[in-house]
Structure 1
Amino acid sequence: MPSPSDTISKVSFGVFEADLQTGELWKAGRRVKLQSQPFRVLTCLIERAGEVVSRDELQQRVWGPDTVVDFDHSIGTAINKIRDALGDTADNPRFVETLAKRGYRFIAPVAIRTAALETSTSGEGYVSDSVDVHVVPGVPTTGDAESTSTHQDLPVRGSALAPPKSGVWVAAACLAALLAGIGGFFAGSRRTGPLPRIERLTRTDWIAPGTPATESLPASATDGLRIFIPVISGGRSVLAQVDVRTGEVQKLPLPSEISSPTLGDLSPDGSTLLLRNHLSPESEQPLWTFSTGGGTALRLANVIAHDATWMPDGKRVLYAAGNRLFISRLEDGVSTPFATLPGRAFWLRWSPDGQILRFTLMDPVDHTLGLWETSRDGRSLRPILSNWTKPSSECCGIWTGDGKYFVFQSDRGGSSDLWRLDGKQIVNPARVTNGPLSFAGPVTSRIGHQIYFQGVETQSLLQRYDAGRREFVPAPGFLSDANRIEYSRDRQWVTWTDLQGRQWRAKSDGTELIQVTPDSLQVFHAHWSPDGKKLALMAREPGKAWQIYTVAADGGTLEQPLHENRNAADPSWSDDGQSIVFGRIPDIMGKEDGPRALQILDLRTHKQTQLPGSEGLFSPRWSPDGRYIAAISLDQRRLLLFDVATRSWRTLADTTAADPVWASDSKAIFFHASSADMQPIYRASISDGRLEQIANLSDFSGGDTEDYFFCGLTIDNVPIVRSRTGTGNLYSVNLDSQ
């Protein structure tokens, strides 16, 4: 047992590390800003992890009995700053829980690190060091006997923020208090043991996260020595291989036909990948095989699918097209039906003995994910864990090589974690991770119970284009969390959708800020009415289709002018504010039955009229002067313009297009060629159709932006974008380490 003078008071919880001696907080190897007073409050809570710490105790410990301050306000402010630093919330806490009229409690498991860590080293690409730690559990989540946060060791960074003379003894005291204070709680915990320790495998920060909303799940595969996984590079997803020993990432050279691939699966012998082209917006695409050793890609004959896996014999492929599964023989390309499903199947995975197929079923109307299974003949079809979460959010399951465990991901409260089932059982899932990152996309080693998965934490910046400097610069601070932005016609107000899907409104200078929509409603985007008094929203409730809502700009009752059991999207106002044009969602946001064309909705009579010649178009935008309606073809390869007076269409731009935004004077429309090289933003002139490239991926300074999203225009018709500067890394855990 180390003596107090040898002890370093570092503690870890999740992917965070707190140095109680220096007052530093680190997250995944990066320092997190936290002022000294909130850090002292955090230290008090960590010392008493699992116990309720009253406000009076915090007052005495942090401020002392002789300090005259507004303690209620000061403690509340400190707790809020702690939560901001940890990415925590009061409503769904992972670290700091508020107990009304009692105080606060630190609920995450805490790992105590000793001085041995200072001299240990880790293999390249790993975060975890080989040292002994004491893992202390937090309070299980209500109704979940195994719900605690994961522990991970993080890199040590030196600093000198605390007085050097007293630091060691403070550390020793904190360590002793920590051990003593939670020993009793550990003995009384409902958990049977700590969660397994998580190790970081890569440091690339650019593992490509999946986007279930666009039918993109974070698939990966391994041959035992390498993990094949998509990464983001130059604005698109490319396939890479990761060395499981060192974490080294190398891009795989692929032919142009599948230059931005989506991974289906790896053949049983580990030699051949199944791929689709992610750049194609069609929901059903050709399948390709590609040798892990390189070479040319071969297209599977007569197969169009949205996902696929190998059959256990390695001679056939099981693929999903529409709501059906088929088996294709590689030798002659003949396909035979396997099963008909009540939705669209993804992430198809056979049990090691080839007797059970489990897969993720996606409902394109209510946008739920669920785990299903069927027998090897495709007849005994049933959901598993169907009532476990509401709405259902389970997906992406994978068997261990010996079939002992089935590991899958589940989204609860907007963050994804991994769970496991024992073998073929479909009851009592056990938690594998508990944040604070979103953990997703598990893949299992071929031997043993090592699990590799994504730890997703997207980092991004809101920026506007500066034409004089020819680069993007930071946007106004009050919009820092904005995702889609629009200014009112009089330029006095601004509304935006934040990264959590909530709608906000403020004066153009950031004053008079209000949240327009409730947290329970997920907003995709909103548009101002011509008089600036209302907003039209594309939004949805959990487990339901996208719908059109209208709401007063200063908040109030949400109104739903349509009542349909299908997705409605992109509402845009007429110039008189009496009508709205809207469309349907593209295939990648949910392939559903029924015609897809643009509709005009009269808000007074609620009568719908189809816009002539708009079949196969989506994303309508009515010009501010009311003369034109712009729209995009469903394959996202054309931007078209409808002349309201002549009731005729013309092609404005014959290139990849997304997110059209009208200039305030209606003389031009901006759009993002997000699937083209360097992702340019164009300005298209309405009078002559001339395209002017305004900016592209090369216009970001610092070199840390790999892709970006077009958010809207400033008051001066300058593009605003959200640039991504990191997405996440690969992590691993051994299920036998519990």
Structure 2
Amino acid sequence: MIKSMTHLFHIPMQTPIANSRLTFGLYEVDLQAGELWKAGFRIKLQGQPFKVLTALLERPGQVVTREELQLRLWGKDTVVDFDHSLGTAINKIREALGDSAENPRFIETLARRGYRFIAPVGYVPAEGTPQPVSEPDKEAASTESAAPALAAIGVQADSRSSVVPVIQTSTARPLWWAIASVALVSVAVAGYLAGTSRATTAPPHITQITHDGHLAPSVNTIENHMASATDGVRLFAPTLENGHAGLAAVSLSGGSVTPMSIPPEVASPALGNISPDGSQLLLRDHLSPESEQPLWIVPTLGGSALRVGNILAHDATWMPDGKEILYAIGNDLYLTHLTGNKPELYASLPGRAFWLRWEPNGKLLRFSMIDPISHTLSLWQLAASDRRPEPVLAGFSNPSSECCGVWANGGRTFVFQSSHGGNTDLWKLSGESTKNPVRLTDGPLEFQSPVAAPNGSRVFFLGVDARSELERVTPNGELVPEKGFLSSAVRVDYTRDGKWVAWTDSAGQLWRANASGEEKLLLTPDTFDVFLAHWSPDGSRLALMAREPGKAWQIYLVGANGNDLAPLLQESRNAADPSWSPDGQSLVFGRINDAMGKENASRTLHIFHLKTNQMEQVPASDGLFSPRWSPDGHYIAALTLDQRQVKLYDVADHTWKALSVPSGADPVWASDSRSLYVHGSLVPAQPIYRVSIPDGHVQEIVRLADSRENDAVDYVFGGLTQDNTPLIRARIFAGNFYSLDLK
């Protein structure tokens, strides 16, 4: 909310001078030295792009026209290919900042007009440099009047302050404008504070620890929340390398990342927590999408894995004494002794708990819960004395997004993550208090998964900076980048005639354009999170799997021009993966597969008939999901919920058979229906298979894990081109660890 207010109101203050340092998020621009820095590390940026960035930073929130940039950078008498040069400069800036034209965090493109820097910008004048003051009486009045409003949002408005939240290029504004601006800000801040109980303060200094970008972030779409832990010397964190999940030990002194040797019994480790003495990790295997998995104990210094009884759980933690383990299964918490005693019911909850964290004195447990329908997150707690669960911070965000809290400062502070205005940041509560949380971070990265140092006031956390590129598979099995307008696409679908293409991007937006990239159009509102979309056979509309904030995944229909967006079903449960019949009169769909917030209802496939609004269940489809109807209508392909089998349904004979592939994800039919492509996502080599239909012959098209020089984090099978060439979304950068000191 505060970030959006900086875009609406410009408060007259000092103008930055030539040797100032401009700041935004983790970035700093030294105007005098001509350098760009991120979290203490210099980022290479050439002369012309740096000049363009400087011009945009001088007027944050305002449109800088192409003509202004041309005049400033090249002058009115210089003859250059201006459009190409400016476009190249903007692209280099975005590359340096990890920004994107489709989903900008910093630089917004305004077609045929210019560019606008959309993130909040501050500046720190060079030490000992006097700050220029224009029209001192007016500026003093405006600054003094603004002080109460600015103090309310954690900004020092004193004229001697060296940090300014918003840069204003002109200080010679009339007094009435200064008063009006301050009044508007005061009203907005007063409304903001009156509408919530949360307090804010200036964010503390953030230090970057790692730099390779291969730490695994949480994925809210599948309720996969990746925990880390520390023994005070190292961080133990989940990593992704070429689609393979693992654990790494991160040195807190130098940031080096060393992969851990995890016993083969735990093929895809997910970390629950570390023992109180810092010597053992509590792990579970999440190779399978099934939520309940065996628990294992592994020494932090390496060694064999010890199975914790015959327990299956979706999360677990150590009890404060280090002799017992508390684990979550279904909606219950159970306690088990390491000596092998029979587990005992500890507490029954109103939902599925994860991220279990005890207060150091062992008196209070705080944990997170997921609603499997709305996919919302919430914080809960229970006292060891009565074991009665109660919510923490109910109504703090809408929809609720609080999770993943840790006790810090010896239990005097509780740090958690929460999403507001589209960004995920860290917040803190004072000890056992459940009121007046204070924001610790303010973007631009997504900050999540906090870890508290066992001693002291330091908190570590993940900063998510996901970057990916779409690549196509060459005939000899190599991956080459897909250039042009589809470069940022995740999932792609072409019309049957190949003239139009629709795609989802990393922000969950749905776009369409013609095959050459012209007539590009956003088809869904910004509030929608679209997972995938498929064209109808005649190309007139699309069926999509999407959700609105705080609601279940649903199937929607939308016209090719973005018109008539409407849900297909009137249900309060999740629906997924719509696929068209060849005549365009019916859709087959399924449900989402198992996750931490699993639904209790059964998962089967259904066919919805658009003319009659009638729905029928596909025979013998219990335990299947992700259906795909072949273009000729003869078959429906689907996956088992554990993704270990791909099955084929003969529509005429009403029979199923299993295909001979070891695992499958994201099935896609070739345009002639004679083959089915699937991603072997559970296979270490990450292959793309082509299965001949109906004989079932399997051919390996590419091994994704071997196709790059070990620089990919993971892969998504994004679809096929018009000529049935596989498209792969390769994520090349995910997240790094950062820290801050609560003092």
TM-score interval w.r.t. the shorter chain?
A: 0.7 to 0.9
TM-superposition CA deviations, 1:160-201 (whole Å, max 9, x none): xxxxxxxxxxxxxx99x999999x999x99999742111111
Provide the C-alpha distance between the structure 2 equivalents of 1:733 and 1:704, rounded to a whole number of angstroms: 28
Where does residue 39 of structure 1 map in the other structure? Answer: 53
Q: 1:238 to 1:702 in 2, by over 3 A?
A: closer
Q: How far has the Cα of 1:36 moved from its partner?
A: 5.2
Is it true that 1:390 corresponds to 2:398 in the alignment?
Answer: yes
Q: Structure 1's 691 and 707: CA in aligned 2 closer, same or farther, altered over 3 A?
A: same
The 1:377/1:92 distance shift into structure 2, 3 A limit, reads farther
Any conservation in 2 of the 1:92–1:413 contact (CA below 8 Å)? no
Alignment-mate amino acid for residue 286 of structure 1: P
Pairing partner for 2:442 from 434, 445, 463: 434
Q: Secondary structure at the match of 2:410?
A: coil
Task: Answer yes or no: is the 8 Å Cα contact 1:20–1:43 preserved in 2.
Answer: no
Counterpart in the other structure of 1:205: 213
1:492-571 to structure 2, matched below 5 A, reads 492-571=499-578
Deviation at 1:333, TM superposition (A): 3.7
- What's the CA shift string for 1:230-278, capped at 9, x where partnerless? 1112421111111111112111111111132000001111111110112
Amino acid at match of 1:598: L
> After TM superposition, which residue ranges in structure 1, 4 or more long, deviate above 6 angstroms?
52-56, 58-62, 66-69, 76-85, 87-98, 103-106, 177-182, 188-193
Write out aligned runs for 1:601-612 (5 A).
601-612=608-619
* CA–CA separation in structure 2 for the residues paired with 1:462 and 1:89: 14
Instruction: Name the CA shift for 1:59/1:658 in 2 (closer, same or farther; >3 Å).
Output: closer
Question: 1:147–1:68: structure 2 CA closer, same or farther, 3 Å change rule?
Answer: farther
Aligned partner of 2:344 among 314, 322, 336? 336
C-alpha distance in 2 between matches for 1:26 and 1:513:
35
Q: Distance in 1 between matches of 2:63 and 2:699?
A: 62
Percent pairwise identity: 48
CA RMSD after TM alignment:
3.9
Unaligned runs of 5+ in 2: 1-17, 110-115, 129-145, 157-162, 172-177, 190-198
- Contact kept in structure 2, 1:41 and 1:62, CA below 8 Å: no
CA deviation digits over 1:549-580, x for unaligned, max 9? 11111211212221111000111011111111
1:314-353 superposed matches below 5 A: 314-353=322-361
Q: Which of 473, 476, 487 in structure 2 is aligned with 1:480? A: 487
Q: Deviations over 1:469-504 (max 9, x none)?
A: x31111131112211101111111111111111111
Q: Is 2:234 aligned against 1:226? A: yes
Once residues 595 and 654 of structure 2 are traced to their aligned partners in structure 1, the CA distance between those partners, rounded to angstroms, is: 29
C-alpha distance in 1, partners of 2:720/2:461?
A: 37
SS in 1 for 2:504: strand
Normalising by structure 2, what TM-score?
0.82
State the distance in 2 between where 1:91 and 1:500 align. Answer: 9
CA contact (8 A) 1:234 1:707 kept: yes
Residue 732 (structure 2) aligns with: 725
Matched, 1:697 2:708: no
Paired with 2:69 and 2:576, the residues of 1 have a C-alpha distance of: 55
579-588 or 17-26, larger mean C-alpha shift: 17-26
Aligned counterpart, 2:5: none
Structure-2 separation of matches of 1:252 and 1:688:
43
Q: CA deviation at 1:700?
A: 3.5
Matches within 5 A, 1:271-286: 271-286=279-294
Aligned in 2, Cα 1:32/1:383: closer, same or farther, shift over 3 Å?
Answer: farther
Q: Please give the alpha-carbon distance, in whole angstroms, between the structure 1 residues aligned to 2:734 and 2:644.
A: 27
- CA 1:540–1:43 in 2, change beyond 3 Å: closer, same or farther? closer
Q: Contact (CA 8 Å) 2:23, 2:121: kept in 1 or not? A: no
Query: What's the TM-score, normalizing by structure 1?
Result: 0.82
Structure 1 position 337, deviation (Å): 1.3
Q: Equivalent of 1:21, from 9, 19, 32?
A: 32
CA distance in 1, matches of 2:150, 2:676: 52
Deviation at 1:427, TM superposition (A): 1.0
Structure 1 residue identity aligned to 2:587: I
Task: Assess if the C-alpha contact under 8 Å between 1:318 and 1:326 holds in 2.
Answer: yes
Pairing of 1:94-133 with structure 2 (within 5 A): 107-111=120-124
Cα distance, 1:499–1:92 mapped onto 2, change above 3 Å: closer
DSSP-derived class of the 1:256 partner: coil
Match of 1:449 in 2: 457
- Residue deviations 1:279-325 (CA, integer Å, cap 9, x gap): 12211111111111221111111311100111111111111111111
Q: Name the aligned partner's letter for residue 624 of structure 2.
A: L
Whether contact under 8 Å (2:636, 2:648) holds in the other structure is: yes
Q: Does 1:195 align with 2:208?
A: no
Alignment pair present for 1:265 and 2:273:
yes
Q: How far is 1:646 from its partner?
A: 0.8
Q: Partner of 2:678: helix, strand, or coil?
A: strand
- Residue matched to 1:651: 658
Q: What's the offset of the Cα at 1:676?
A: 0.8
2:603 alignment partner in structure 1: 596
Deviation, structure 1 residue 414: 3.1
CA contact (8 A) 1:109 1:148 kept: no
Shift of 1:593: 1.2
Q: Is the CA contact 2:528–2:547 (under 8 Å) kept in the aligned structure 1?
A: yes
> Which of 243, 250, 267 matches 2:251?
243
1:217 is aligned with what amino acid? H
Q: Which amino acid is 1:440 matched to?
A: Q
* Paired residue secondary structure (2:567): coil
- Is 1:298 the equivalent of 2:306? yes
Give the distance between the partners of 1:13 and 1:231, measured in 2 at CA.
28
Q: Corresponding residue for 2:473?
A: 465
Residue aligned with 1:257, SS: coil
**CA gap 1:111/1:638 in 2 versus in 1, 3 angstroms:** farther
Quote the residue 2:263 is aligned against.
255
- Three-state SS of the structure 2 residue aligned to 1:41 is helix
The Cα shift of 1:143 comes to 11
**Aligned partners of 2:45, 2:406: CA distance in 1, in Å?**
34
Partner of 2:424: 416
Q: What is the total number of aligned residue pairs between the two structures?
A: 665
Q: How does 1:39-78 map to 2 (within 5 A)?
A: 39-45=53-59, 63=72
C-alpha deviations, 1:487-536, integer Å up to 9, x for none?
11111111111111111111111112111111111111011111111101
Give the whole-Å Cα distance in 2 for the aligned partners of 1:431 and 1:214.
26
Aligned residue type for 1:728: G
Contact 1:521 1:542 (C-alpha < 8 Å) held by counterparts: yes
C-alpha spacing 1:383/1:97, structure 2 compared with 1 (3 Å): farther
CA distance, structure 2, for counterparts of residue 43 and residue 575 of structure 1: 53
Report SS of the residue matched to 1:402.
helix
- Is the Cα–Cα contact under 8 Å of residues 154 and 202 in structure 2 kept in the other structure? no
Deviation of 1:21 after TM superposition, in Å, equals 3.0
In the TM superposition, residue 539 of structure 1 has moved relative to its aligned partner by 0.7
Per mean C-alpha deviation after superposition, the further-off stretch among 366-375 and 336-345 is 336-345
Moved more, 645-654 or 442-451: 645-654
Instruction: Give the secondary structure class of the aligned counterpart of 1:511.
Output: coil
From the superposition, tell whether residues 38 and 461 of structure 1 become closer, same or farther in structure 2 (CA, over 3 Å). same
Q: Residue type of the partner of 1:426?
A: T
